[in-house]
């Protein structure tokens, strides 16, 4: 039994806030996913939530998703096992589910539909969409269910009643899951704060899922965030922002080969439609042919961190224009970094705030990753500062 695990397609998403549509990029990688699924003759494609980027996706996004499903189901005859994520409108995606299910496209958007597994040869697949604890309180009519941890324990207990001991169980779901129960203090603290704050963000630990042979996760866009080998994020199939580009995230999907013995997991990278380079260099260097000839200019996307002694060194220069002449139109981000030391008086505090910033930024990045791109609000930032001891200092 072979399954392909992917997640976080976010069809209809734009790159950063630049309004650059990723639809061509998404078409390109989805094409590869279809081809891979066909070539490997998989028995199913798992999409672990965030199919679309928004509850009301643009028509082109709906059309691409429709076309992708048609090709998988009717051209290749490959079933699809999908759930809604926090970016999807669970309600809107209810339309037609019964028609879809009868044709091998299993899409679950309601907790109530999560307990009946899909029965395959030697395998049971449980589809649990992203939910808020309040959905569980309504479903169970139990107002004591306040934490996502408690909710998940209850859900898994109910799922286990459907377990067939002669089969392996796979869970497809869409939450932030960290390793074990004893994660780093800071992360735990931060998450418990944000959980209460954003209402949807929740943290779970991988030990909860011990009864499943594999948990196909969505929500966090990089597979490096996977808590364990068998409780794993596939990551998104595309780079969505500068941070991911900077880290040179290699995007792809997992192929699961499930036999009696064990589950074998292989990563298959996807070729991006356009490469995305984040270049950090002194301004004059960026303009030199020996530097820029290394990059597929005008065929890739770029972000620049321009190093200058002082900001005024660039006065009177149309930086964006000059860079566009060389690198092409898709300059996603342009930042200027001053390298000259600040006057002595301020240096001490500058340094301390630098290291502070790094930690702040770490949390902000992590938050953005977890929420699929949201920024911390002023209130959330103040809580982070408090956690880091900055508020008390």
Where do contacts with a second copy occur on this chain (CB under 8 A)? Answer: 56, 59, 62-63, 65-66, 69-70, 73-74, 89, 91-92, 94-100, 102-103, 105
Report in angstroms how near the CB of residue 103 gets to a second copy at its nearest: 5
- Could you please report the per-residue DSSP string of 304-372? EEEEESSGGGGTT--HHHHHHHHH-S-EEEEEEEE-SPPPHHHHHHHHHHHHHHHHHHHHHHHHHHHHT
- Tell me which residue has tokens 């695990």: 5
> CB-wise, 29 or 80, nearer to a second copy?
80
User: What residues contact 330, with CB distance under 8 A and at least 6 apart?
Assistant: 20, 274, 300, 301, 302
Pairing of strands 276-282, 263-269: unpaired
C-alpha closest to that of 300 among 269, 336, 326, 318: 326
User: What residues contact 183, with CB distance under 8 A and at least 6 apart?
Assistant: 205
Report in angstroms how near the CB of residue 74 gets to a second copy at its nearest: 6
Report in angstroms how near the CB of residue 220 gets to a second copy at its nearest: 27
> CB-wise, 2 or 101, nearer to a second copy?
101
Report in angstroms how near the CB of residue 36 gets to a second copy at its nearest: 22
C-alpha closest to that of 171 among 43, 281, 83, 260: 83
Report in angstroms how near the CB of residue 104 gets to a second copy at its nearest: 9
Find the largest Cα–Cα distance for the chain.
73
> CB-wise, 111 or 171, nearer to a second copy?
111
Report in angstroms how near the CB of residue 236 gets to a second copy at its nearest: 22
> CB-wise, 5 or 71, nearer to a second copy?
71
- Give the DSSP letter of residue 268: E
Q: How far is CA 279 from the centre of its chain?
A: 23
> CB-wise, 73 or 362, nearer to a second copy?
73
Distance from C-alpha of 43 to C-alpha of 90, rounded to nearest angstrom: 26
> CB-wise, 101 or 167, nearer to a second copy?
101
> CB-wise, 9 or 105, nearer to a second copy?
105
> CB-wise, 59 or 166, nearer to a second copy?
59
Backbone angles phi, psi at 105, to 5 degrees: -105, 100
> CB-wise, 57 or 272, nearer to a second copy?
57
Report in angstroms how near the CB of residue 26 gets to a second copy at its nearest: 16
> CB-wise, 77 or 180, nearer to a second copy?
77
Which ranges of 180-318 does DSSP label H, i.e. alpha helix?
185-198, 242-246, 283-286, 289-292
Report in angstroms how near the CB of residue 51 gets to a second copy at its nearest: 11
Report in angstroms how near the CB of residue 82 gets to a second copy at its nearest: 13
Q: How far is CA 23 from the centre of its chain?
A: 17
Q: Which tokens go with 3?
A: 């399954």
**Contact between 66 and 26 (Cβ < 8 Å):** no
> In 10 A of CB 78, how many CB atoms?
21
> In 10 A of CB 301, how many CB atoms?
25
């Amino acid at each position: 039994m072979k399954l392909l695990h992917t997640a976080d397609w976010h069809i209809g998403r734009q790159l950063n806030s630049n309004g650059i549509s990723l639809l061509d990029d998404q078409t390109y990688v989805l094409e590869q996913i279809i081809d891979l699924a066909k070539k490997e003759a998989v028995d199913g494609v798992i999409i672990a939530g965030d199919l679309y980027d928004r509850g009301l996706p643009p028509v082109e996004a709906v059309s691409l998703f429709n076309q992708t499903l048609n090709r998988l189901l009717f051209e290749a005859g490959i079933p699809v096992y999908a759930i809604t994520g926090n970016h999807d409108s669970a309600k809107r995606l209810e339309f037609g589910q019964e028609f879809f299910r009868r044709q091998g496209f299993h899409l679950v958007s309601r907790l109530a539909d999560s307990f009946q597994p899909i029965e395959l040869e030697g395998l049971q697949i449980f589809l649990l969409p992203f939910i808020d604890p309040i959905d569980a309180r309504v479903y169970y009519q139990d107002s004591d269910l306040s934490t996502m941890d408690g909710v998940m324990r209850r859900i898994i207990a109910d799922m286990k009643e459907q377990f067939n001991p002669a089969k392996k169980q796979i869970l497809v779901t869409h939450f932030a899951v960290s390793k074990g129960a004893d994660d780093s203090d800071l992360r735990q603290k931060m998450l418990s704060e944000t959980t209460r704050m954003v209402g949807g963000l929740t943290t779970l630990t991988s030990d909860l899922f011990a009864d499943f042979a594999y948990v196909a996760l969505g929500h966090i866009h990089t597979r490096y965030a996977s808590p364990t080998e068998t409780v794993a994020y596939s990551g998104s199939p595309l780079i969505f922002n500068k941070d991911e580009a900077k880290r040179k995230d290699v995007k792809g999907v997992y192929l699961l080969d499930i036999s009696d013995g064990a589950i074998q997991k292989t990563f298959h990278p996807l070729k991006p439609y356009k490469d995305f380079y984040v270049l950090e260099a002194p301004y004059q260097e960026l303009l030199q042919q020996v530097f820029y000839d290394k990059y597929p200019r005008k065929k890739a996307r770029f972000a620049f961190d321009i190093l200058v002694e002082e900001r005024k060194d660039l006065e009177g220069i149309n930086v964006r224009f000059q860079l566009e002449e060389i690198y092409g139109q898709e300059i996603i981000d342009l930042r200027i970094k001053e390298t000259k030391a600040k006057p002595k008086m301020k240096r001490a505090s500058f340094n301390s705030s630098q290291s502070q910033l790094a930690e702040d930024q770490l949390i902000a990045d992590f938050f953005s990753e977890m929420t699929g791109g949201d920024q911390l609000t002023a209130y959330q930032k103040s809580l982070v500062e408090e956690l880091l001891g900055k508020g008390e200092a």
